[in-house]
Amino acid sequence: MGVFEVEPQKFPDRVSFNHYLAEHYDTLIENDLYVIAGLTEYSREDFLDLLRNDGYEIVGNYGGIQKIRCDYGGERPAEFYLSYDIEDNVVLFYTDMRKTEEVENTIEPFLENKPGVHYLYISPSLLQDIREKIVSEDPATEITEFVAKRTERTDTSSRFRPEEWRTINYYGRDGLESLREMEEHYGVLPRIMEFNVPGFLNFRINHEGVFKLKGGSLKQLFKHIETCIEEALKVKMAYERTDFEMIRASAQLEVPTSEPAAITLKNKIRYHELDGLKDSMQDRDYVLVGSYAEEGSLYFTTEVIDQVKNSTFRIKANEDQIRIFPQDESDLGTFYRFYEFIQDSVDESAELAPA
């Protein structure tokens, strides 16, 4: 059995498809619904080609929505509905198949590893904001499960043993209180949270843009998804201001140049922390080439190879800011991945500097 069946009709965009799903959720979908969000820099056609080249076929057309299938070698092919938003290049994959099987073996690695695409990264601070908003709207809200992490070498404050990194996987009806306490005492930040707003909404959200509706208002879940998309688009806008260009200096000379984006840090980087930063980067599959650093007013520059996206960029950092210079073909996924790395491993309060 494949993904849930949609009545044959045309949906111009994700808004109309979401509206349709929200209206017919109870009759259409028997299992938990997963919505996997991502971004791409490809045009719609190029994105569909990318999917085709990765073993997906388009098995249904619903106007702006496509039904896609991937035979990844499991007991049944994975199937999704895909919405591609022409204006903001946001892609959503909808399925009621299994997360640990059909989703984790197809779309998740596709979004994580392919150049030019990336999952919709949801920062720990946005996860916290969403949590507080839901709780303020309905104080009876429970968090019944969460995963929270303290990464190695993070600057996040921690009352107990700040030098230790840790992951807390928690199940219990008092998850909301426990998570807040653990954030304060153990300096952890949320990665996954499962909410139960009694009688209204039961859903799960993770930092890689995967939303799971277990029950309740799909309309409300879409609202939260839109909030996350809005935040992610700010990162995309910063990325779009960057570029790499060979600029002509004379008839016989072109010069490689790059327009950077800047990430502003609230927790300053110190010279003595650079070795730790380099180690963290290596742990996350970055290779550093030609690093150079100076003490005083910190000056750090290096070329970085992203082994996951197989791309290159250069960074220049001082204590308060890291500037990212794309090299050759710039890549949206590379940019997101690095931004996530900085928030994860350097400063969870890091923000993109305004243009």
Partner 1 sequence: MTVDELDDEEICKQYAIIIDRVPSYEDRKVEYEDELQSDDEIVETAKKEVKAGIRNGRKHDDLLTSTISAFLPKGTVQQQTGWTFRGAEPLSEYNVPNADAIFCNPDRNLAAIVECKTSLSSPGNALTQIYEAADAIREYRDELSENIGMEIERLETAICVPSYLDEQLAQRIEYEEQNDNAREQVYVWRWHYLEDGERIDLFSSFDNRTRSEATHDSELTQVLNSGVEITKERQATPSFFPSSHTYHIMEEALSELLKKRVRNEEPLREFTETELHDILTSQRHLPHYNSNEIGTRIYDGLMNRLESDNLITAIDQEETELTAGEKFYRYRVRGRSVETVLKNLREKYRTQAIERKIEIKAMRKIIEEFDEDQSSLGDFG
Residues at the site binding partner 1, with contacts judged by CB under 8 A = 244, 246-260, 262, 282, 287, 289-290, 292, 294, 296-297, 299, 301, 303, 305, 307, 310, 312, 314, 316, 318-320, 323, 325, 327-328
Q: What angle do CA 49, 225, 150 make, to 5 degrees?
A: 100
Classify strands 253-259 and 311-317 as parallel, antiparallel or unpaired: unpaired
3-state secondary structure of 202: strand
- Return the number of the residue (27 or 250) whose C-beta is nearest partner 1: 250
Of the candidates 61, 98, 53, 102, the residue with the CA atom closest to the CA atom of residue 83: 61
Least CB distance from residue 232 to partner 1, whole Å?
24
- Return the number of the residue (20 or 299) whose C-beta is nearest partner 1: 299
In this structure, is the dihedral angle defined by the CA atoms of residues 111, 113, 118 and 123, taken in order, positive or negative? positive
Give CA 81 to chain center in angstroms: 20
Least CB distance from residue 288 to partner 1, whole Å?
9
Least CB distance from residue 244 to partner 1, whole Å?
7
The letter for the amino acid at 48 is L
Least CB distance from residue 16 to partner 1, whole Å?
39
Of the candidates 184, 189, 178, 179, the residue with the CA atom closest to the CA atom of residue 160: 184
Least CB distance from residue 178 to partner 1, whole Å?
39
- Return the number of the residue (119 or 286) whose C-beta is nearest partner 1: 286
| Dist. CA 228–CA 92, nearest whole Å | 12
- Return the number of the residue (85 or 273) whose C-beta is nearest partner 1: 273
- Return the number of the residue (216 or 260) whose C-beta is nearest partner 1: 260
| Dist. CA 338–CA 355, nearest whole Å | 18
